[in-house]
Amino acid sequence: MKLIKQLIAVATVAFATSAFAAPAPANEAPDALVKRISSEVLETAKADKDIQAGNQKKVMDLVETKILPYVDFQRMTSLAAGRYWREATPDQQKQLAAEFRTLLIFTYSGALSQVKDQTVDFKPMRSSPGDTEVEVRSQVNQQRGEPIQLNYRVAKTDAGWKIYDINVLGAWLVEAYKGTFASEISKGGIDGLIKTLSEKNKKLASKPLKTAGK
Amino acid sequence: MSKFRTLALSLAVAGTLAGCAGPNPRDPFEGYNRAVFNFNDKVDEYALKPTATVYKNVTPGFFQTGVSNFFGNLADVWTAANNLLQGKVGDGMSDLMRVAMNSTFGLLGVLDIASEAGLQKHKEDFGQTLGAWGVPSGPYLMLPLLGPSTVRDTAALPVDITADPWQYKDPVNVRNTGTVLRVVDQRAALLDASTLLEDAALDRYEFIRDGWMQRRNSQVYDGEDGPKDKQAKPEVEDEAPMQPQADEAPKQPQAIMPEPAETKPSL
């Protein structure tokens, strides 16, 4: 019984995913948006030999054009900084968001260059039409091992739906950074955190995307 | 005499643990945990990671898949038992079906044909079962060689070890070889992920702790938002003053960066 249910669910998702490969309509639903982005990105990554080889510029281009327009880094950073966000000056907030954004781009690009034969299934969304904040749930299936849970928190903004948090394997990104942010700030203030982030980014910029892990 | 020594030792351990009470309520043993974390890191750096890298580059892909399927099939037995203990009869039966299919048609588990037939693999252990029964996780605890855990999961560990069928494999040399192979194979599967983790983390210890604690909680509640442990969420008090703040005039000019609402989306 469960098997049949799962089969139907997978078939529905497969159908839905293929249907959403079409260009974006103006007021796209949040789950449709995430599905479209992830299938576009995965397809590009799988088809592009340079990306698989770890060509940093190409991966960054892909992230820049396909993903960044739909991510609210401002909000992501403010949530990760928690109560310290209000203590920061507008200028500090701007710098912090910019550095955090760069770090996440590097990380995400590293993940993308590892895409090989994965497929993504989306789970039915539990929300009502009036919601302005929803969670889109998906899982990445790989050839080996359990599927990887990948969920997105998406909020409605004036510029359409924007992703502001990602859950990988059960852990929310913002929550995972919150502890580190707090301890860096308690050590060296907000400027200390900005400095740590920018040093980290410099290190990442000078190192190839693919390392010994291959 | 030996009793006295045990007492002295446990007092010393308790003293060490209490002495390094950190600011994070989820991680009161941070000093001890960091020491073990660094030890584990060294073991990984000099022994496990190089071995796993060689294993991954040298052995053929089908062999690696076979190894992970074989041990995965053994683990499914205990996963099934834990799902049943948690009252998840559907999942438990599905896991038993997986074991039955993979152990026979899957050539003793080397082929994971059950996954291909649509029976999703689960992973449950006794720590998760205790969690599902309502036992709180307790503080974070870094175990030598075994890695991140909590007090609850450490208490559950002997049960998991006893329930591992490979523990009873004879002869001993086959058992030991298999255990090494299993560990190396599991590490090999994580090589890409651990590189990513190094890139993403400012402080790897904290990042792994904060990510792992969340992941563990999510495993206990099978990806749903469970009733959050109050003591395990120090952030709650940080967010509480947000609500009244919204009515007051902002303390500083917010024109450039309007502060987003702190409310979590409801499911």
A85-136 confidence digits (pLDDT tens) = 999 999 999 999 999 999 988 888 878 777 777 888 888 888 777 888 899 9
| pLDDT over 50 at A83, yes or no | yes
Interchain CB contact of B24 with A (< 8 Å): yes
**Below-70 pLDDT ranges, chain B:** 1-23, 225-267
What's the mean pLDDT when you consider all of chain A? 81
Per-residue confidence (pLDDT) for residue A118, from 0 to 100: 81
Name beta bridge partners: A136. Answer: A152
Share of residues in chain A with pLDDT > 90 (%): 27
Name beta bridge partners: B170. Answer: none
* Token pair of B85 as six digits: 């203990």
* Chain B residue with the nearest C-alpha to that of A7: B118
* Token pair of A199 as six digits: 């040093």
| Residue A99: count of CB within 10 angstroms of its CB | 20
Q: Do B257 and A134 touch (CB under 8 A)?
A: no
Q: Do A176 and B265 touch (CB under 8 A)?
A: no
Distance, in Å, from the CA atom of A211 to the CA atom of A207, rounded to the nearest integer, reads 8
Distance, in Å, from the CA atom of B61 to the CA atom of B64, rounded to the nearest integer, reads 5
* SS3 label, residue B147: strand
Q: Do B259 and A86 touch (CB under 8 A)?
A: yes
Buried b (16+ CB within 10 A) or exposed e, B158-169: ebbeeebeeeee
Confidence of residue A14 (pLDDT cuts 50, 70, 90): low
Q: Do B210 and A75 touch (CB under 8 A)?
A: no
10 Å CB burial of residue A60 (0-12, 13-18, 19+) is middle
Buried b (16+ CB within 10 A) or exposed e, B69-89: bbbbbbbbbbbbbbbbbbebe
Find the CB nearest B256 among A90, A178, A204. Answer: A90
Per-residue confidence (pLDDT) for residue B23, from 0 to 100: 65
The sheet with strand A148-157 has its strands ordered as A119-122, A133-141, A148-157, A160-168, A171-172
How many CA atoms, within 13 angstroms, populate the side-chain half-sphere of residue B64? 20
10 Å CB burial of residue A38 (0-12, 13-18, 19+) is buried
Pairing of strands A160-168, A148-157: antiparallel
pTM tops 0.90? no
Least reliable range by pLDDT among A15-24, A161-170, B69-78, B168-177: A15-24
